[in-house]
Amino acid sequence: MRLRLLGAFLLLTLFVLVALEVPLAVNYRDRQLTELRNGLERDAFVLASYVQNKLDQPDSAELSTIAYNYSVETKGRVVIIAASGDVLADTDPLRDGIQNFASRPEVAAALEEKVASGTRYSQSLKTGLIYVAVPVSQGNRVVGVVRLSYSTQQVDDRVHRYWWLLALAGAVTLMVAAGVGVLLARWVTRPLNGLRDAALQIGGGDLDARADTNHGPPEVRTLASSFNTTAGRLEELLVAQEQFVADASHQLRTPLTALRLRLEMIETEVEGSVAEDIDAAHSEVLRMSRLVDGLLALTRAERTERVILAPTEIEPVIAERLSIWEHIADERSVKLIATPTSLVALTDSDHLSQILDNYIANALEVAPADSSLFVRAEIEIRGSDRFAAIHVIDQGPGMSDEQRSHAFDRFWRASATRSELGGSGLGLAIVMKLAEADGGLAELRTAPGGGIDAVVLLPI
Protein backbone atom coordinates (compact mmCIF):
# COMPACT_ATOMS: atom_id res chain seq x y z
CA MET A 1 0.00 0.00 0.00
CA ARG A 2 2.88 2.34 0.76
CA LEU A 3 4.23 1.89 -2.77
CA ARG A 4 0.80 2.50 -4.28
CA LEU A 5 0.37 5.73 -2.32
CA LEU A 6 3.87 6.88 -3.27
CA GLY A 7 3.28 5.97 -6.92
CA ALA A 8 -0.04 7.84 -7.00
CA PHE A 9 1.54 10.90 -5.37
CA LEU A 10 4.46 10.93 -7.83
CA LEU A 11 2.12 10.35 -10.78
CA LEU A 12 0.00 13.32 -9.72
CA THR A 13 3.13 15.45 -9.28
CA LEU A 14 4.39 14.40 -12.70
CA PHE A 15 1.05 15.25 -14.28
CA VAL A 16 1.10 18.72 -12.71
CA LEU A 17 4.70 19.27 -13.86
CA VAL A 18 3.91 18.23 -17.42
CA ALA A 19 0.77 20.39 -17.44
CA LEU A 20 2.81 23.39 -16.32
CA GLU A 21 6.17 22.93 -18.04
CA VAL A 22 5.11 21.79 -21.53
CA PRO A 23 3.02 24.92 -22.23
CA LEU A 24 5.75 27.02 -20.65
CA ALA A 25 8.42 25.46 -22.91
CA VAL A 26 6.29 25.85 -26.05
CA ASN A 27 5.43 29.44 -25.15
CA TYR A 28 9.09 30.28 -24.59
CA ARG A 29 10.05 28.92 -28.02
CA ASP A 30 7.20 30.79 -29.73
CA ARG A 31 8.15 33.99 -27.93
CA GLN A 32 11.80 33.67 -29.01
CA LEU A 33 10.81 33.12 -32.65
CA THR A 34 8.37 36.05 -32.53
CA GLU A 35 11.02 38.35 -31.11
CA LEU A 36 13.47 37.26 -33.82
CA ARG A 37 10.86 37.77 -36.57
CA ASN A 38 9.96 41.22 -35.27
CA GLY A 39 13.67 42.16 -35.17
CA LEU A 40 14.15 41.00 -38.74
CA GLU A 41 11.11 42.97 -39.93
CA ARG A 42 12.40 46.10 -38.23
CA ASP A 43 15.85 45.69 -39.78
CA ALA A 44 14.33 44.92 -43.19
CA PHE A 45 12.30 48.14 -43.16
CA VAL A 46 15.39 50.12 -42.12
CA LEU A 47 17.35 48.65 -45.06
CA ALA A 48 14.39 49.22 -47.39
CA SER A 49 14.21 52.89 -46.47
CA TYR A 50 17.99 53.15 -46.87
CA VAL A 51 18.12 51.65 -50.39
CA GLN A 52 14.82 52.93 -51.81
CA ASN A 53 16.49 55.87 -53.57
CA LYS A 54 19.25 53.64 -54.91
CA LEU A 55 17.06 51.28 -56.93
CA ASP A 56 16.25 53.66 -59.78
CA GLN A 57 19.78 53.30 -61.07
CA PRO A 58 21.06 50.45 -58.97
CA ASP A 59 24.76 50.17 -58.23
CA SER A 60 25.47 46.53 -57.49
CA ALA A 61 28.74 47.29 -55.70
CA GLU A 62 27.15 49.88 -53.41
CA LEU A 63 24.15 47.65 -52.67
CA SER A 64 26.44 44.69 -51.99
CA THR A 65 28.42 46.82 -49.54
CA ILE A 66 25.27 47.82 -47.68
CA ALA A 67 24.10 44.20 -47.55
CA TYR A 68 27.53 42.94 -46.52
CA ASN A 69 27.85 45.43 -43.65
CA TYR A 70 24.50 44.35 -42.26
CA SER A 71 25.34 40.67 -42.69
CA VAL A 72 28.62 41.06 -40.81
CA GLU A 73 26.89 42.65 -37.83
CA THR A 74 23.93 40.26 -37.63
CA LYS A 75 25.25 37.07 -39.30
CA GLY A 76 22.07 37.05 -41.36
CA ARG A 77 21.64 36.79 -45.11
CA VAL A 78 20.57 39.88 -47.06
CA VAL A 79 19.10 39.74 -50.57
CA ILE A 80 18.14 42.98 -52.37
CA ILE A 81 15.83 42.30 -55.30
CA ALA A 82 14.64 44.54 -58.12
CA ALA A 83 10.97 44.89 -59.09
CA SER A 84 11.60 42.40 -61.88
CA GLY A 85 12.76 39.79 -59.39
CA ASP A 86 16.39 40.02 -60.38
CA VAL A 87 18.92 39.81 -57.55
CA LEU A 88 20.79 43.08 -57.11
CA ALA A 89 22.81 42.08 -54.04
CA ASP A 90 23.15 38.83 -52.11
CA THR A 91 25.48 38.21 -49.17
CA ASP A 92 25.46 34.50 -49.93
CA PRO A 93 25.00 34.18 -53.68
CA LEU A 94 26.42 30.68 -53.96
CA ARG A 95 23.88 29.19 -51.60
CA ASP A 96 21.02 29.12 -54.09
CA GLY A 97 22.69 29.86 -57.39
CA ILE A 98 19.51 31.66 -58.49
CA GLN A 99 19.59 35.15 -60.05
CA ASN A 100 15.86 35.82 -60.08
CA PHE A 101 13.61 35.44 -57.00
CA ALA A 102 10.33 36.47 -58.61
CA SER A 103 8.96 32.95 -58.15
CA ARG A 104 9.56 32.95 -54.39
CA PRO A 105 6.21 33.31 -52.55
CA GLU A 106 7.55 35.81 -50.03
CA VAL A 107 9.10 37.94 -52.81
CA ALA A 108 5.90 37.85 -54.84
CA ALA A 109 3.95 38.94 -51.75
CA ALA A 110 6.38 41.80 -51.06
CA LEU A 111 6.09 43.00 -54.69
CA GLU A 112 2.36 43.30 -53.98
CA GLU A 113 3.17 45.62 -51.05
CA LYS A 114 2.76 42.93 -48.40
CA VAL A 115 5.14 41.94 -45.64
CA ALA A 116 5.87 38.23 -45.84
CA SER A 117 7.58 36.09 -43.23
CA GLY A 118 7.94 32.43 -42.39
CA THR A 119 10.23 29.59 -41.44
CA ARG A 120 11.61 26.64 -43.33
CA TYR A 121 14.28 23.98 -43.01
CA SER A 122 17.39 24.37 -45.17
CA GLN A 123 18.65 21.03 -46.47
CA SER A 124 21.95 22.61 -47.58
CA LEU A 125 22.62 24.27 -44.23
CA LYS A 126 20.99 21.52 -42.15
CA THR A 127 19.28 24.09 -39.97
CA GLY A 128 16.03 25.99 -39.67
CA LEU A 129 15.69 29.42 -41.25
CA ILE A 130 13.38 32.34 -40.49
CA TYR A 131 12.89 34.92 -43.25
CA VAL A 132 11.21 38.27 -43.81
CA ALA A 133 10.55 40.04 -47.13
CA VAL A 134 9.43 43.70 -47.20
CA PRO A 135 8.66 45.94 -50.17
CA VAL A 136 10.89 48.88 -51.14
CA SER A 137 8.57 51.69 -52.23
CA GLN A 138 8.91 55.04 -53.90
CA GLY A 139 5.63 56.84 -53.49
CA ASN A 140 2.93 54.42 -54.58
CA ARG A 141 5.28 52.31 -56.63
CA VAL A 142 7.18 49.18 -55.49
CA VAL A 143 10.69 49.32 -56.86
CA GLY A 144 12.15 46.29 -55.15
CA VAL A 145 12.26 43.89 -52.19
CA VAL A 146 14.58 43.44 -49.23
CA ARG A 147 14.70 39.89 -47.99
CA LEU A 148 16.42 38.97 -44.70
CA SER A 149 16.92 35.42 -43.47
CA TYR A 150 18.45 34.22 -40.24
CA SER A 151 19.36 30.79 -38.87
CA THR A 152 17.22 29.65 -35.96
CA GLN A 153 20.14 27.66 -34.52
CA GLN A 154 20.88 30.25 -31.83
CA VAL A 155 17.23 30.45 -30.91
CA ASP A 156 16.99 26.66 -30.84
CA ASP A 157 20.07 26.50 -28.59
CA ARG A 158 18.53 28.99 -26.16
CA VAL A 159 15.23 27.10 -26.25
CA HIS A 160 16.95 23.78 -25.65
CA ARG A 161 18.92 25.20 -22.74
CA TYR A 162 15.68 26.52 -21.30
CA TRP A 163 14.03 23.14 -21.77
CA TRP A 164 16.91 21.41 -20.02
CA LEU A 165 16.55 23.83 -17.12
CA LEU A 166 12.84 23.03 -16.97
CA ALA A 167 13.61 19.29 -17.04
CA LEU A 168 16.19 19.71 -14.26
CA ALA A 169 13.72 21.71 -12.20
CA GLY A 170 11.11 19.00 -12.81
CA ALA A 171 13.54 16.27 -11.75
CA VAL A 172 14.43 18.15 -8.56
CA THR A 173 10.73 18.68 -7.89
CA LEU A 174 10.06 14.97 -8.38
CA MET A 175 12.88 14.08 -5.98
CA VAL A 176 11.51 16.45 -3.36
CA ALA A 177 8.02 15.09 -4.01
CA ALA A 178 9.35 11.54 -3.62
CA GLY A 179 10.82 12.42 -0.23
CA VAL A 180 7.60 14.08 0.88
CA GLY A 181 5.63 11.16 -0.56
CA VAL A 182 7.64 8.62 1.41
CA LEU A 183 7.02 10.53 4.63
CA LEU A 184 3.33 10.91 3.79
CA ALA A 185 2.98 7.23 2.86
CA ARG A 186 4.64 6.17 6.11
CA TRP A 187 2.41 8.49 8.07
CA VAL A 188 -0.67 6.96 6.47
CA THR A 189 0.36 3.30 6.21
CA ARG A 190 2.13 2.83 9.54
CA PRO A 191 -1.11 2.90 11.57
CA LEU A 192 -2.81 0.82 8.85
CA ASN A 193 -0.06 -1.78 9.16
CA GLY A 194 -0.57 -1.73 12.91
CA LEU A 195 -4.29 -2.22 12.34
CA ARG A 196 -3.56 -5.15 10.03
CA ASP A 197 -1.17 -6.72 12.56
CA ALA A 198 -3.75 -6.33 15.31
CA ALA A 199 -6.38 -8.02 13.10
CA LEU A 200 -3.99 -10.89 12.37
CA GLN A 201 -3.20 -11.29 16.06
CA ILE A 202 -6.88 -11.41 16.94
CA GLY A 203 -7.44 -13.91 14.11
CA GLY A 204 -4.61 -16.00 15.59
CA GLY A 205 -6.31 -16.06 19.00
CA ASP A 206 -4.70 -13.11 20.78
CA LEU A 207 -7.86 -11.28 21.84
CA ASP A 208 -5.88 -8.69 23.79
CA ALA A 209 -4.34 -7.19 20.63
CA ARG A 210 -5.35 -3.60 19.90
CA ALA A 211 -4.57 -1.04 17.17
CA ASP A 212 -2.73 2.24 17.78
CA THR A 213 -5.16 5.16 17.95
CA ASN A 214 -2.59 7.92 18.52
CA HIS A 215 -0.90 8.17 15.13
CA GLY A 216 -1.91 8.68 11.51
CA PRO A 217 -4.63 10.70 9.78
CA PRO A 218 -7.86 11.37 11.70
CA GLU A 219 -9.78 8.90 9.50
CA VAL A 220 -7.31 6.11 10.29
CA ARG A 221 -7.38 6.92 14.01
CA THR A 222 -11.17 6.77 13.93
CA LEU A 223 -11.02 3.44 12.11
CA ALA A 224 -8.52 2.10 14.67
CA SER A 225 -10.77 3.22 17.52
CA SER A 226 -13.78 1.50 15.96
CA PHE A 227 -11.69 -1.61 15.40
CA ASN A 228 -10.60 -1.66 19.06
CA THR A 229 -14.21 -1.27 20.19
CA THR A 230 -15.25 -4.19 17.98
CA ALA A 231 -12.30 -6.29 19.16
CA GLY A 232 -13.17 -5.58 22.80
CA ARG A 233 -16.78 -6.57 22.24
CA LEU A 234 -15.68 -9.71 20.41
CA GLU A 235 -13.37 -10.61 23.27
CA GLU A 236 -16.19 -10.19 25.76
CA LEU A 237 -18.51 -12.40 23.71
CA LEU A 238 -15.92 -15.15 23.20
CA VAL A 239 -14.85 -15.11 26.83
CA ALA A 240 -18.48 -15.27 27.90
CA GLN A 241 -19.08 -18.17 25.51
CA GLU A 242 -16.03 -20.07 26.70
CA GLN A 243 -16.88 -19.35 30.31
CA PHE A 244 -20.39 -20.65 29.76
CA VAL A 245 -19.12 -23.86 28.16
CA ALA A 246 -16.55 -24.34 30.89
CA ASP A 247 -19.02 -23.63 33.70
CA ALA A 248 -21.73 -25.79 32.17
CA SER A 249 -19.32 -28.66 31.63
CA HIS A 250 -17.93 -28.36 35.13
CA GLN A 251 -21.37 -28.23 36.71
CA LEU A 252 -22.55 -31.26 34.72
CA ARG A 253 -19.69 -33.47 35.84
CA THR A 254 -20.96 -33.86 39.43
CA PRO A 255 -24.56 -34.93 38.63
CA LEU A 256 -23.35 -37.19 35.83
CA THR A 257 -20.92 -38.89 38.19
CA ALA A 258 -23.66 -39.31 40.80
CA LEU A 259 -26.04 -40.66 38.17
CA ARG A 260 -23.43 -43.14 36.95
CA LEU A 261 -22.80 -44.41 40.50
CA ARG A 262 -26.53 -44.84 41.14
CA LEU A 263 -26.96 -46.76 37.90
CA GLU A 264 -24.06 -49.02 38.83
CA MET A 265 -25.66 -49.71 42.22
CA ILE A 266 -29.06 -50.42 40.68
CA GLU A 267 -27.51 -52.59 37.98
CA THR A 268 -26.32 -55.11 40.60
CA GLU A 269 -29.83 -55.52 42.00
CA VAL A 270 -31.90 -56.07 38.85
CA GLU A 271 -32.06 -58.69 36.15
CA GLY A 272 -33.61 -59.29 32.77
CA SER A 273 -34.80 -56.55 30.49
CA VAL A 274 -34.55 -53.96 33.25
CA ALA A 275 -30.86 -54.73 33.60
CA GLU A 276 -30.42 -54.25 29.85
CA ASP A 277 -32.14 -50.86 30.02
CA ILE A 278 -30.00 -49.80 32.94
CA ASP A 279 -26.89 -50.95 31.09
CA ALA A 280 -27.93 -48.85 28.06
CA ALA A 281 -28.59 -45.86 30.33
CA HIS A 282 -25.20 -46.40 31.95
CA SER A 283 -23.55 -46.33 28.50
CA GLU A 284 -25.33 -43.06 27.67
CA VAL A 285 -24.17 -41.53 30.96
CA LEU A 286 -20.59 -42.57 30.18
CA ARG A 287 -20.89 -40.99 26.72
CA MET A 288 -22.22 -37.78 28.22
CA SER A 289 -19.36 -37.76 30.72
CA ARG A 290 -16.85 -38.13 27.91
CA LEU A 291 -18.59 -35.32 26.02
CA VAL A 292 -18.40 -33.04 29.04
CA ASP A 293 -14.73 -33.88 29.55
CA GLY A 294 -14.10 -33.21 25.88
CA LEU A 295 -15.81 -29.81 26.09
CA LEU A 296 -13.67 -28.91 29.08
CA ALA A 297 -10.51 -30.00 27.27
CA LEU A 298 -11.47 -28.10 24.11
CA THR A 299 -12.18 -24.94 26.12
CA ARG A 300 -8.77 -25.17 27.75
CA ALA A 301 -7.15 -25.74 24.35
CA GLU A 302 -8.89 -22.68 22.89
CA ARG A 303 -7.74 -20.58 25.82
CA THR A 304 -4.16 -21.70 25.32
CA GLU A 305 -2.10 -18.64 24.44
CA ARG A 306 0.96 -18.72 22.26
CA VAL A 307 3.91 -19.07 24.62
CA ILE A 308 7.65 -19.15 24.18
CA LEU A 309 8.21 -22.75 23.14
CA ALA A 310 11.05 -24.75 24.65
CA PRO A 311 13.07 -27.52 22.99
CA THR A 312 11.48 -30.82 24.02
CA GLU A 313 12.86 -34.31 23.49
CA ILE A 314 10.23 -36.33 21.70
CA GLU A 315 11.26 -39.89 22.62
CA PRO A 316 10.68 -39.59 26.41
CA VAL A 317 7.19 -38.17 25.85
CA ILE A 318 6.34 -41.02 23.44
CA ALA A 319 7.67 -43.62 25.86
CA GLU A 320 5.65 -42.19 28.75
CA ARG A 321 2.36 -42.14 26.79
CA LEU A 322 2.84 -45.64 25.43
CA SER A 323 3.45 -46.96 28.94
CA ILE A 324 0.12 -45.43 30.00
CA TRP A 325 -1.76 -47.04 27.11
CA GLU A 326 0.07 -50.36 27.17
CA HIS A 327 -2.45 -52.05 29.47
CA ILE A 328 -5.43 -51.13 27.26
CA ALA A 329 -3.49 -52.18 24.15
CA ASP A 330 -2.78 -55.60 25.73
CA GLU A 331 -6.48 -56.06 26.47
CA ARG A 332 -7.22 -55.44 22.79
CA SER A 333 -4.32 -57.63 21.60
CA VAL A 334 -2.64 -54.65 19.92
CA LYS A 335 1.12 -54.34 20.01
CA LEU A 336 2.59 -50.87 20.55
CA ILE A 337 5.84 -50.31 18.64
CA ALA A 338 7.91 -47.12 19.00
CA THR A 339 10.88 -46.30 16.78
CA PRO A 340 13.79 -44.70 18.68
CA THR A 341 14.41 -41.08 17.81
CA SER A 342 16.68 -38.27 18.93
CA LEU A 343 14.55 -35.46 17.50
CA VAL A 344 13.90 -32.33 19.53
CA ALA A 345 10.86 -30.13 18.76
CA LEU A 346 9.83 -26.67 19.89
CA THR A 347 6.65 -27.56 21.75
CA ASP A 348 4.98 -27.83 25.12
CA SER A 349 5.36 -31.32 26.58
CA ASP A 350 1.81 -31.29 28.01
CA HIS A 351 0.42 -30.35 24.59
CA LEU A 352 2.35 -33.17 22.94
CA SER A 353 1.11 -35.64 25.57
CA GLN A 354 -2.53 -34.69 24.94
CA ILE A 355 -2.04 -34.96 21.18
CA LEU A 356 -0.50 -38.42 21.49
CA ASP A 357 -3.26 -39.55 23.87
CA ASN A 358 -5.98 -38.57 21.40
CA TYR A 359 -4.18 -40.16 18.45
CA ILE A 360 -3.46 -43.41 20.36
CA ALA A 361 -7.03 -43.63 21.71
CA ASN A 362 -8.48 -43.24 18.22
CA ALA A 363 -6.01 -45.77 16.79
CA LEU A 364 -6.75 -48.39 19.49
CA GLU A 365 -10.48 -47.90 18.91
CA VAL A 366 -10.22 -49.09 15.28
CA ALA A 367 -7.17 -51.37 15.47
CA PRO A 368 -8.08 -55.05 14.89
CA ALA A 369 -6.89 -57.76 17.28
CA ASP A 370 -3.35 -59.05 16.76
CA SER A 371 -2.38 -55.88 14.86
CA SER A 372 0.33 -53.36 15.61
CA LEU A 373 0.32 -49.64 16.30
CA PHE A 374 3.46 -47.79 15.25
CA VAL A 375 4.74 -44.53 16.68
CA ARG A 376 7.72 -42.85 15.06
CA ALA A 377 9.19 -39.39 14.49
CA GLU A 378 11.12 -37.97 11.55
CA ILE A 379 12.07 -34.68 9.95
CA GLU A 380 9.69 -33.28 7.33
CA ILE A 381 10.45 -30.24 5.16
CA ARG A 382 7.79 -27.95 3.77
CA GLY A 383 9.12 -25.12 1.68
CA SER A 384 11.77 -23.45 3.77
CA ASP A 385 10.42 -24.76 7.10
CA ARG A 386 11.58 -27.89 8.92
CA PHE A 387 9.24 -29.83 11.18
CA ALA A 388 9.40 -32.81 13.50
CA ALA A 389 6.68 -35.10 12.12
CA ILE A 390 5.31 -37.54 14.77
CA HIS A 391 3.31 -40.40 13.25
CA VAL A 392 0.78 -42.69 14.95
CA ILE A 393 -0.01 -45.44 12.43
CA ASP A 394 -2.69 -48.09 12.88
CA GLN A 395 -3.66 -51.10 10.79
CA GLY A 396 -7.37 -50.43 10.93
CA PRO A 397 -9.91 -49.97 8.12
CA GLY A 398 -8.82 -46.41 7.41
CA MET A 399 -10.97 -43.52 6.22
CA SER A 400 -12.07 -42.11 2.91
CA ASP A 401 -10.77 -38.78 1.63
CA GLU A 402 -14.06 -37.11 2.53
CA GLN A 403 -13.99 -38.53 6.05
CA ARG A 404 -10.43 -37.36 6.59
CA SER A 405 -11.36 -33.86 5.38
CA HIS A 406 -14.00 -33.62 8.15
CA ALA A 407 -12.13 -35.50 10.88
CA PHE A 408 -10.96 -32.35 12.69
CA ASP A 409 -14.46 -30.80 12.79
CA ARG A 410 -16.10 -30.56 16.17
CA PHE A 411 -18.51 -33.39 17.08
CA TRP A 412 -17.83 -35.18 13.80
CA ARG A 413 -17.54 -38.97 14.00
CA ALA A 414 -16.67 -41.45 11.29
CA SER A 415 -19.13 -43.93 12.76
CA ALA A 416 -22.27 -43.67 14.86
CA THR A 417 -21.17 -46.75 16.85
CA ARG A 418 -20.56 -46.03 20.54
CA SER A 419 -16.92 -46.38 21.56
CA GLU A 420 -15.19 -47.13 24.81
CA LEU A 421 -12.10 -44.94 24.52
CA GLY A 422 -13.56 -41.80 22.99
CA GLY A 423 -16.68 -40.90 21.16
CA SER A 424 -17.19 -37.23 22.03
CA GLY A 425 -16.16 -36.10 18.55
CA LEU A 426 -13.88 -33.46 20.07
CA GLY A 427 -10.56 -35.29 20.31
CA LEU A 428 -9.15 -34.33 16.93
CA ALA A 429 -10.49 -30.77 17.24
CA ILE A 430 -8.47 -30.52 20.49
CA VAL A 431 -5.43 -31.95 18.70
CA MET A 432 -5.64 -29.29 15.99
CA LYS A 433 -5.98 -26.47 18.54
CA LEU A 434 -2.97 -27.68 20.54
CA ALA A 435 -0.83 -28.16 17.42
CA GLU A 436 -1.67 -24.67 16.14
CA ALA A 437 -0.92 -23.18 19.55
CA ASP A 438 2.61 -24.61 19.22
CA GLY A 439 3.02 -23.30 15.68
CA GLY A 440 2.41 -26.70 14.10
CA LEU A 441 -0.26 -28.61 12.18
CA ALA A 442 -2.22 -31.83 12.54
CA GLU A 443 -3.10 -34.12 9.62
CA LEU A 444 -4.61 -37.52 8.85
CA ARG A 445 -3.01 -39.47 6.03
CA THR A 446 -3.59 -42.85 4.48
CA ALA A 447 -1.16 -45.41 5.89
CA PRO A 448 0.35 -48.23 3.83
CA GLY A 449 -2.09 -51.12 3.97
CA GLY A 450 -5.16 -48.93 4.36
CA GLY A 451 -4.92 -47.71 7.96
CA ILE A 452 -4.61 -44.17 9.23
CA ASP A 453 -1.35 -42.28 9.62
CA ALA A 454 -2.14 -39.58 12.19
CA VAL A 455 0.56 -36.91 12.00
CA VAL A 456 1.40 -33.85 14.05
CA LEU A 457 3.98 -31.43 12.63
CA LEU A 458 5.89 -29.42 15.23
CA PRO A 459 8.55 -26.76 14.51
CA ILE A 460 12.17 -27.69 15.10
Q: Verify that 142 and 21 share a domain, yes or no.
A: yes
pTM over 0.75: no
Has residue 188 been placed in a domain?
A: no
Task: Kindly provide the b/e burial profile for residues 247-278, where b requires at least 16 CB atoms within 10 angstroms of the residue's own CB.
Answer: eebeebeeebeebbeebeeebeeeeeeeeeeb
Residue where one domain finishes, among candidates 128, 157, 186: 157
Q: What is the pLDDT of residue 94?
A: 57
Q: What is the pLDDT of residue 444?
A: 94
Mean pLDDT, range 16-33, rounded to an integer = 88
Mean pLDDT, range 344-351, rounded to an integer = 88
Q: What is the pLDDT of residue 415?
A: 56
Q: Verify that 325 and 454 share a domain, yes or no.
A: yes
**Residue 253 reports pLDDT greater than 70:** no
For residue 19, give the CATH number of its domain: 3.30.450.20
The model's confidence at residue 43, banded by pLDDT at 50, 70 and 90, is very high
Has residue 220 been placed in a domain?
A: yes
Q: Verify that 268 and 357 share a domain, yes or no.
A: no
Q: What is the pLDDT of residue 457?
A: 95
In this structure, of 116-130, 194-208, 223-237, 287-301, the range with the lowest mean pLDDT score is 287-301
Residue where one domain finishes, among candidates 157, 177, 212: 157
Query: Residue 425 and residue 283: Cα distance in Å, rounded?
Result: 16
**Residue 417 reports pLDDT greater than 60:** no
State the average pLDDT for the chain. Answer: 83
CA angle centred on 53, ends 47 and 55, rounded to 5°:
85
Query: Which long-range contacts link 442-448 to residues 24+ away (Cβ below 8 Å)?
Result: 442/355, 442/408, 444/399, 444/404, 444/407, 444/408, 445/404, 446/398, 446/399, 446/404, 447/393, 447/394, 447/395, 447/398
Has residue 193 been placed in a domain?
A: no
**Alpha helices, DSSP H, located in 400-453:** 401-406, 427-437
Tell me the percentage of the chain whose pLDDT exceeds 90: 27
**Residue 354: closest CA among 330, 327, 390:** 390
* pLDDT tens sequence across 139-156: 888 999 999 998 888 888
Q: Verify that 114 and 210 share a domain, yes or no.
A: no
**Residue 418 reports pLDDT greater than 50:** no
- The count of structural domains within the chain is 3
* pLDDT tens sequence across 315-328: 999 999 999 999 99
**Residue 304 reports pLDDT greater than 50:** yes
Q: Verify that 388 and 297 share a domain, yes or no.
A: no
Enclosing domain of residue 68 = 2-157
Has residue 191 been placed in a domain?
A: no
Has residue 170 been placed in a domain?
A: no
**Residue 159: closest CA among 24, 15, 42:** 24
Q: Verify that 147 and 10 share a domain, yes or no.
A: yes
Please tell me which of 2-16, 121-135, 287-301, 384-398 the model is most confident about, judged by mean pLDDT.
384-398
For residue 422, give the CATH number of its domain: 3.30.565.10
Q: Verify that 9 and 101 share a domain, yes or no.
A: yes
Query: Residue 151 and residue 92: Cα distance in Å, rounded?
Result: 13
Query: Which long-range contacts link 36-41 to residues 24+ away (Cβ below 8 Å)?
Result: 36/130, 36/150, 36/152, 36/155, 37/117, 37/130, 37/132, 40/76, 40/117, 40/130, 40/131, 40/132, 40/148, 40/150, 41/115, 41/117, 41/132, 41/134
For residue 216, give the CATH number of its domain: 1.10.287.130
Name residue 391's beta-bridge partners. Answer: 376, 455
Mean pLDDT, range 268-288, rounded to an integer = 70
**Residue 302 reports pLDDT greater than 70:** no
Has residue 312 been placed in a domain?
A: yes
Q: Verify that 100 and 139 share a domain, yes or no.
A: yes
**Residue 334 reports pLDDT greater than 90:** yes
Please spell the DSSP secondary structure of 378-400, one letter per residue. EEEEETTEEEEEEEEE--S----
**Residue 220 reports pLDDT greater than 60:** yes
Has residue 46 been placed in a domain?
A: yes
Sign of CA dihedral 264, 266, 269, 273: negative
Residue where one domain finishes, among candidates 269, 285, 303: 303
- Cα dihedral: 302, 304, 308, 309 (round 10): -70
Has residue 171 been placed in a domain?
A: no
